[in-house]
Amino acid sequence: MRVLIIGATGIIGEAVVGELGPRHDILTAGRNSGDLRVDITSLDSIKAMFEHAGQVDAVVSATGKVKFAPMAAMTAADYEIGLKDKLMGQVNLVLVGRAFVSEGGSFTLTSGVLDQDPIRQGSSASMVNGAVNAFVMAAAIEMGRGQRINAVSPTVINESMEGYAAFFRGFQPVPAARAALAFAKSVEGAQTGQVYRVL
């Protein structure tokens, strides 16, 4: 398969490339690196990326930004960061990408554990992750041309603990390579409308 991976140089993205790379033709995209450049907050940028990529069999989104801050300090603009980036950025990858993904192809989005296990300063992430999961479950029943869509919802990643440990006290981190297996299940499997939780 020809697989487009957005966010391929991030911790999870690199692990997904490592898992899928030996078996598939990988095309990478990112804001500052990769075969293609894309800013997922820009619809025009997403369209340009797909036009340059051409037809692909699978799209993996291993990207998405939210703001972590105490809720008392959060403003509407702070919540907009996650809404425009991790939520609508990924939704727009699907809306634009469905014309470039082959019949029977797939989309795999990224959410995260905070939708069901919230932490202090994580209200934006919890909100956005829940919305991504709900979108995936609803979109699956209306995807055309046999296309599939799933989400991967990992807990905190072991390789990220240096920066995030203070937020995730008591959480058991998982290696990025383990999270990558869930992405492979989505890309190479047959299920749709699933949220693969990696705990």
Question: What phi-psi label fits residue 170: left (phi over 0), alpha (psi between -120 and 50 degrees) or beta?
Answer: left
Residues 137 and 27: their CA atoms lie apart, in Å, by 26
Domain boundaries of the chain, sorted by first residue: 2-198
Whether residue 153 contacts residue 113, with contact meaning beta carbons closer than 8 Å, is answered with: yes
Question: Which tens digit of pLDDT belongs to each residue from 87-110?
Answer: 999 999 999 999 999 999 999 999
Arithmetic mean of pLDDT, 154-174: 96
| Structure confidence at residue 9 as a pLDDT band (50, 70, 90) | very high
Per-residue confidence (pLDDT) for residue 66, from 0 to 100: 98
Per-residue confidence (pLDDT) for residue 154, from 0 to 100: 98
Per-residue confidence (pLDDT) for residue 121, from 0 to 100: 97
Percentage, residues of the chain above pLDDT 70: 100
pTM comes to 0.98
**CATH 3.40.50.720 applies to domain 2-198:** yes
Residues 81 and 150: their CA atoms lie apart, in Å, by 23
The H or E element that residue 29 is part of is: strand 25-30
Question: Which tens digit of pLDDT belongs to each residue from 23-64?
Answer: 999 999 999 999 999 999 999 999 999 999 999 999 999 999
- Mean of all residue pLDDT scores within the chain: 98
